[in-house]
Amino acid sequence: MTDRAFRIGVMAPGGALAPEVEPRVRALAAELYGGRVELVFHPQCFERCGHFAGDDARRAQAFLEIANDPAFDALWFGRGGYGSNRIVEAACAQLAPAAADKAYLGYSDAGTFLSALHMKGFRNVAHGPMPGDIRMAGGEAAVARGLAWLVDRAPEALEPSVGAEGPAAAFNLVILAHLIGTPQEPDLTGHVLMVEEIGEYMYRIDRDLCQVTQAPGMRRLAGLRMGRCAGVPENDPDFVLTEEEVARYWCERAGIPYLGRADIGHDAANKVVPFGAG
């Protein structure tokens, strides 16, 4: 161990962070860790270029400035919001050896980067809370959970089934569905896949589960767990089936074991799922 602080760089691969996020997350980290943790929010996090936190080149640059710098111990994706797919391939093509030595944490749109890094053999990649979650009700607990994994790999931060069923991975369902057929489609052979969703009609959840489970590469999953699906709009007519019922249906069609629920979601209770842990 060294005396220096554990250094975490924060960047936003899609949408910009709200200005209030940085001081609130810094205050929480100081309360929990004192001088043990240093948070560095890249200025790009707060820039705006239409929908995005800076244009594609700026966001890719920010990612590489943190990922390739050996002075950082971790890269923490600041928030979700569309944009990662526009920069992931070019950015990952420029990764230096130092990038493989750090941890990466995020979820939602950041799942695109998590998948690409996992495919490159990076060993400390995880689905879990992000700094922007501090704005949620109960968000301090979510951010503290993310920090606990980044800094100490705290087992209490993990989704309860992690480590008991072999290698795992977790994604927002629609992000994973959009990765199918791209260079960032993950090889999850032998993995337990956990998926969650927010704000999608149940028929779209059904359609995305169809796409994911019917993809040839996904037939080699060790199993699937269904996380929380929040904010499902009312449909006319009622779709009737629940997210768990459609998950069971498509798993049976594909010959993938359905293993039950997962404690992940677009909420403050979202737990950490390291890719490949087990």
CA distance 274 to 278: 9
Per residue in 103-148, pLDDT (tens digit) is 999 999 999 999 999 999 999 999 999 999 999 999 999 999 999 9
Helix 243-254 vs helix 202-214: crossing angle, to nearest 10: 20
- Please say whether the beta carbons of 23 and 120 come within 8 A: no
Q: What b/e string do you get for 121-147 counting C-beta neighbours within 10 Å, with b at 16 or more?
A: ebebbbbbbbbbbbebeebbbbbbbbb
Q: Is the pLDDT of residue 185 over 50?
A: yes
What pTM value is reported for the model? Answer: 0.97
Q: Please give the pLDDT value at position 3.
A: 76
Q: What b/e string do you get for 174-207 counting C-beta neighbours within 10 Å, with b at 16 or more?
A: bbbbbbbeeebbbebeebbbbbbbbebebebbbb
Q: Please give the pLDDT value at position 2.
A: 58
Per residue in 188-229, pLDDT (tens digit) is 999 999 999 999 999 999 999 999 999 998 999 999 999 999
- Please say whether the beta carbons of 63 and 95 come within 8 A: no
CA distance 227 to 171: 10
Per residue in 230-261, pLDDT (tens digit) is 999 999 999 999 999 999 999 999 999 999 99
Q: Is the pLDDT of residue 179 over 60?
A: yes
